[in-house]
Amino acid sequence: MFGVKLALLIAILVAGAIGAAIPLIRRGSSTHEHLLGWGNAFAAGVFLAAGLVHMLPEANRTWITLGYDYPMAFALAGFAFAFMLLVEHVLLPEHAHEEVHAPSGERFARIAETNLHDTHADSPESLSAYAVLTALSIHALLAGLALGAEPDLSRALVISLAIVAHKSAAGFALGVSLARSALPARQAWTLVILFASATPLGGLLGALLGANVEGDLGAILEASFLSIAAGTFIYVATFDILRDEFPAPGGRFAKWCVLTSGIASMSALALWT
């Protein structure tokens, strides 16, 4: 199981790095916008069903087994949702907020702007790149903890697919921010590596803790990771992806179909898990 998770985490690392590298090497193209939207919508469906159908019920059963009558799983999920909202929409500087939450189509157009502006390393665009990195890496780390703590292989596989789809788009947002800045190339690529490594580091931490901490403490850690992950997954699906994709004109029905298929596929998996 650990070997499979390690392979999945490596795949996630590569996906995040590739997503961030595309803007840096100036290969973005608006012809790929609809593919990004469909992939994002499918990931939202999988994230939503993973949190509501799999993680929350599983975490709730564990808390009940441990003797907790209070709905700990749902409370922790709610606080995790609020924490992600704080990081991405309250604490994030305005320039960085625009980079992270710009509509998908605008991100491609912004790559072309980099050749029209002569920015400096201390400009708002450069400073916002660090804020974007911080916000996206916190989310990526929590997603990795969720994957590492997931004890079921089939759910881990589907969750990893959702993370790959979304991390590619998140990496693209970071890459656009870096491309618009005047950071030296070596420094920009270092930030890409840090972002790409966040999910694998979180996954390794979750897997190692789950494998080495036993008894009630181990069960509490697993239930806590799953509860927090459920809240972050629901946040990503709603505030992060659907808020980005569906206000944009055109293609809404296709995105809805892809979203629904993601929910259906993840929900159907619950019949066997």
Confidence label for 102 from pLDDT (cuts 50, 70 and 90): low
Residue type, 148: G
Q: What share of the chain is helix, strand, coil (3-state, %, to 5)?
A: 85, 0, 15
Cβ atoms of 114 and 185 closer than 8 Å: no
The predicted structure's pLDDT at residue 229: 83
In this structure, are residues 32 and 217 in contact, taking their beta carbons and an 8 Å threshold?
no
What is the pLDDT at residue 26?
A: 58
Sequence-distant (≥ 6) Cβ neighbours of residue 249 within 8 angstroms: none
d(CA 46, CA 7): 20
pLDDT digits (tens, 9 = 90+) for 223-233: 888 898 889 88
Report pLDDT for 81: 93
100 neighbors 135 (Cβ within 8 angstroms): yes
Return d(Cα 149, Cα 141) in angstroms, integer. 12
pTM (2 decimals)? 0.73
Half-sphere exposure of 192 (CA within 13 A, CB side): 28
Closest by CA to 107, choosing from 236, 244, 233, 242, is 244
* Confidence tier at 116 by pLDDT (50, 70, 90): very low
pLDDT of 95? 65
**35-39, 114-118, 191-195: the lowest-pLDDT one:** 114-118
What's the per-residue H, E or C state across 199-259?
A: HHHHHHHHHHHHHHCCHHHHHHHHHHHHHHHHHHHHHHHHHHHHHHHCCCCCCHHHHHHHH
Q: Which residue has the higher pLDDT, 100 or 39?
A: 39
8 A C-beta contact, residue 248 and residue 38: no
- 26 Rama sector, left if φ>0, alpha if ψ -120 to 50, beta otherwise: left
d(CA 43, CA 139): 15
Categorize the per-residue pLDDT at 31 as very low, low, confident or very high, splitting at 50, 70 and 90.
very low
Residues ≥6 apart with Cβ < 8 Å to 259: 41, 42, 44, 45, 242
Q: Flag whether pLDDT at 93 surpasses 90.
A: no
